[in-house]
Amino acid sequence: MTGLVAVVADWDAEPEPLVPLYLRRPDAKPSAVKR
């Protein structure tokens, strides 16, 4: 896994730590919230 692939896998693995991340930047990647 490299770069984005590793990040996407991390979203599926632990979406909780990403909650504050997309909350700070909701315009950065709204599709990540739906995942």
Residue 30 has pLDDT above 60, yes or no: no
pTM: 0.17
**pLDDT classification of 31: cutoffs 50, 70, 90:** low
- Taking the C-alpha atoms of residue 3 and residue 18, their distance in angstroms, rounded to an integer, is 16
Residue 35 has pLDDT above 60, yes or no: no
Task: Provide DSSP, 1-35.
Answer: --THHHHHHHHHH--TTTHHHHHH-TTT-HHHHH-
Residue 28 has pLDDT above 60, yes or no: no
Tokens of 5: 């692939």
pLDDT one-digit tens code per residue, 2-25: 666 666 666 565 556 656 665 666
